[in-house]
Amino acid sequence: MTGEAPNAPRRLGPLALLESAVLVSGIGNGIAVVTIPWLVLERTGLATSAGLVGAATAIPLLISALFSGSIVDTLGRKRTAVFSDACSALSVAAIPLVDRWLGLDMTLILALVVLGAVFDPAGATAREAMIPELGREARWPLPRTNAIHEATWGVSYLIGPAVGGVLIATIGPVTTLWATAVGFVFSGAAVMFIRAPGVGSPERADRPKTVLTGSAEGVRLVWRDPLLRMTTLISMLIVAVYLPIEGVVLPYIFQQQGRPAALGLVLTALSAGGLVGALAYAAIGPRVRRYPVFAGAVVLASVSILAMALAPTYALLVGAAALAGLFWGPVDPLINLAMQTRTDPARRGRVLGVLMASYYAAGPLGYMGAGLAIERFGAEATFTALGVLILVAATATVPMKALRLFDEPGRYAAELDIAPHVSSAPDPRMPVPPPESDER
């Protein structure tokens, strides 16, 4: 990827289309986050069943995410995103259709949710891989583009869970899933209209030889980079503990109370806080050091999650959720920025696939463990224990030396117009791209 001429026209359209796709697909996923556990609990009444669904979907998500990056780098970002969204829409629509024709039981719910999980990672990876090029078309600094992208996710999850809670209460969980299917249809349609460098079919020399070798290369690139390796491990630890809170513990608590809208409001507060945090980082990110922001955000977000578990009233629970989202807001933009500036653009999909797979790998044991703990110790005790675990993981990992590389420029920072915070010298610890790399 080569730099653009200084007088190149600003094109906001491609980035606007991408973020529109992210918004509508995110709203659909936010609806599903509330609806799927609610449907399982309504049909079975067992927290272990909700945990089983979460664990079962994490396995195909892990496998699909690991290979999705190589698929993106082979077929191209735009083509992969459109195909993935179409398949996701069909798999979600199958749930209400099967319920109408055959009737849903636990086995069918599990099979259909697992099918849907196969397609999601490729679309998410493809859209994520477009960010630097489309931000460049808009002539935005990359830190701002990443923050706005995460803010868009925040808006989608601000809207999605709330809409999901209202729809469940009015039309039932099965019918609610049509909204998720429609979201994927609109997402694919928006991506189809994107025209920009870097979103089409990659050069033959840049494609992985096979999906398997491409995924293996992605693993090597992540593991050889100290910063990417450490941020991946930290994210895995936190995700392993947090996802069961959102996917099992909170749905169980509010399903027992018969309050779907209350669950939606808590998840909405998390997203609203995340939106504000991401936008705040978009405003100040280029002017502040990255490591202190990352370390402080992770620890304060973890404290807020524990406060959610200990909150004596529903109002305080919602407030703590908003703070957890607020503090977490800068984390994902910072991780994205590290990945983008330290990865060959031609291999970005492979690295993204590995990063996404690592997050999904953290989920299965957490889901099952949370379901079993709720049945044995109760939801409140389980919530508190998970909050403590998150705080311990955060405080133990953020002092690690590798994280200070946030403030050093990555190999591709200059290519992406990212000014260094500390030194303009190349980082000698950065992995060198393979000889056949053909930078564009």
At 344-360, the pLDDT tens digits run 888 898 898 888 888 77
pLDDT in tens, 235-247: 888 888 887 888 7
- Cβ-contact 68, 93 below 8 angstroms: no
For the cut 80, the answer to whether the pLDDT of residue 361 exceeds it is no
- What is residue 391's predicted lDDT score, i.e. its pLDDT? 92
Residue bearing tokens 């939606």? 264
- Cβ-contact 146, 333 below 8 angstroms: yes
pLDDT in tens, 159-180: 888 888 888 888 988 899 999 9
- What is residue 5's predicted lDDT score, i.e. its pLDDT? 46
For the cut 70, the answer to whether the pLDDT of residue 394 exceeds it is yes
Domain positions in the chain are 14-407
> Cβ atoms within 10 A of the Cβ of 166, count?
16
CA distance 434 to 418: 23
State the architecture of 14-407 in CATH terms.
Up-down Bundle (1.20)
pLDDT in tens, 304-345: 999 999 988 899 999 999 999 999 989 988 998 899 889 888
CA distance 201 to 196: 12
Q: What is the pTM of this model?
A: 0.74
- What is residue 364's predicted lDDT score, i.e. its pLDDT? 66
Average pLDDT, integer, range 217-231: 91
CA torsion 297-298-301-306 (nearest 10°) is: -150
Let me know the angle formed at the C-alpha of 10 by 5 and 12, rounded to the nearest 5 degrees: 140
- Cβ-contact 214, 69 below 8 angstroms: yes
User: Confidence band (pLDDT; 50, 70, 90) for 414?
Assistant: low
CA distance 410 to 349: 17
- 359: tokens are 């997050």
Q: Which amino acid is at 288?
A: V
- What is residue 434's predicted lDDT score, i.e. its pLDDT? 42
Residue bearing tokens 């500390």? 422
